[in-house]
């Protein structure tokens, strides 16, 4: 019985010691967990405050950056609008200069045509003056012959017939000849067209003859008072020659004019 009591007491003591140990470990664990939780709470608060500061700094940086880029975009927009206005002004100026250049070229073309016509007028005037002087001279000669015939008692008509070698034949003079007999003349040559002038350019026709002998009519471009323009034919060679001429409505044919082609250039003079 005594032995059983001792065993029971020993067991209770062991249980008590084990329970004490377990209770000690549990308290230690709880204290450590409390400490850890407190540390985590402190860290969370610090991180929260730090994040707030970082967010504030980032927010400020973002605001500053937004303001900077907003100002830059505004400046770029102003410069772009200013550039557009400058381009409009420049385009307007270019258009004005282009129109002036076209007018100047048109005036130069008119001056060139006027110079041609003035040259022809001067030539006709000189011819007329020479003819008129020659006519006056022949009138004087005929008067002298008439006076001599009267002195010798011969009729002036017979005397003039006997001197036919000195007779003035008006029909053979250029100034008095029919205008219908004047043939067209080559007036100008361009890259795409040619022009012929005539005293009456209405119903004028023009032709081109290739070196191969092929003859084709030229399509009329337009008519003016004394000039007709025609499109040049299609040229399928880089270097060569074609012959052009015109016929007016009175069937007067111009001279045949050679036109030379070389590398896209067109000239009435032979290209070397």
**C-alpha to C-alpha distance for 64 and 67, rounded to whole angstroms:** 5
Quickly state the pLDDT bin for 124 (edges 50, 70, 90): confident
Whole-number percent of the chain with pLDDT over 70: 75
pTM: predicted TM-score of the whole model, two decimal places? 0.37
Asked if the model's pLDDT at residue 117 lies above 90, the reply is no
**C-alpha to C-alpha distance for 216 and 266, rounded to whole angstroms:** 19
Task: Give the pLDDT of residue 130.
Answer: 76
Task: Give the pLDDT of residue 110.
Answer: 77
Name the average pLDDT for the chain: 76
Asked if the model's pLDDT at residue 80 lies above 60, the reply is yes
Task: Give the pLDDT of residue 177.
Answer: 47
Instruction: Please provide the CATH number assigned to the domain covering 183-267.
Output: 2.60.40.10
Task: Check: CB of residue 164 under 8 Å from CB of residue 141.
Answer: no
| Structural domain boundaries in the chain | 183-267
**C-alpha to C-alpha distance for 140 and 125, rounded to whole angstroms:** 22
Quickly state the pLDDT bin for 171 (edges 50, 70, 90): very low
Which has more confidence, 163 or 144?
Answer: 144
Task: Check: CB of residue 261 under 8 Å from CB of residue 242.
Answer: yes
Average pLDDT over residues 62-67: 75
* Helix H or strand E segment including 83: helix 2-152
Out of 61-70, 141-150, 205-214, give the one with best mean pLDDT.
205-214
Quickly state the pLDDT bin for 10 (edges 50, 70, 90): low
């Amino acid at each position: 019985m005594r032995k059983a009591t001792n065993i029971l007491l020993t067991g209770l003591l062991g249980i008590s010691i084990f329970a004490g140990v377990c209770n000690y470990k549990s308290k230690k664990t709880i204290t450590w967990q409390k400490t850890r939780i407190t540390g985590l709470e402190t860290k969370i608060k610090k991180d929260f405050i730090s994040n707030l500061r970082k967010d504030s700094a980032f927010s400020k940086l973002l605001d500053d950056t937004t303001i900077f880029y907003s100002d830059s975009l505004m400046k770029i927009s102003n410069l772009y609008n200013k550039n557009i206005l400058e381009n409009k002004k420049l385009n307007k100026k270019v258009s004005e200069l282009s129109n002036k250049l076209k007018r100047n070229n048109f005036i130069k073309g008119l001056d060139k045509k006027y110079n041609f016509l003035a040259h022809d007028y001067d030539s006709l005037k000189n011819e007329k003056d020479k003819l008129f002087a020659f006519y006056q001279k022949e009138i004087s000669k005929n008067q002298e012959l008439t006076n001599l015939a009267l002195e010798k008692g011969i009729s002036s008509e017979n005397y003039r017939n006997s001197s036919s070698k000195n007779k003035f034949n008006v029909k053979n003079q250029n100034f008095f000849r029919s205008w219908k007999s004047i043939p067209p003349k080559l007036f100008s040559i361009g890259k795409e067209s040619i022009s012929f002038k005539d005293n009456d350019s209405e119903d004028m026709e023009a032709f081109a003859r290739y070196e191969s002998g092929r003859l084709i009519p030229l399509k009329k471009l337009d008519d003016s008072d004394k000039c007709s323009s025609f499109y040049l034919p299609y040229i399928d060679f880089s270097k060569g020659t074609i012959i052009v001429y015109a016929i007016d409505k009175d069937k007067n044919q111009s001279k045949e004019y050679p036109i030379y082609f070389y590398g896209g250039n067109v000239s009435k003079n032979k290209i070397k």
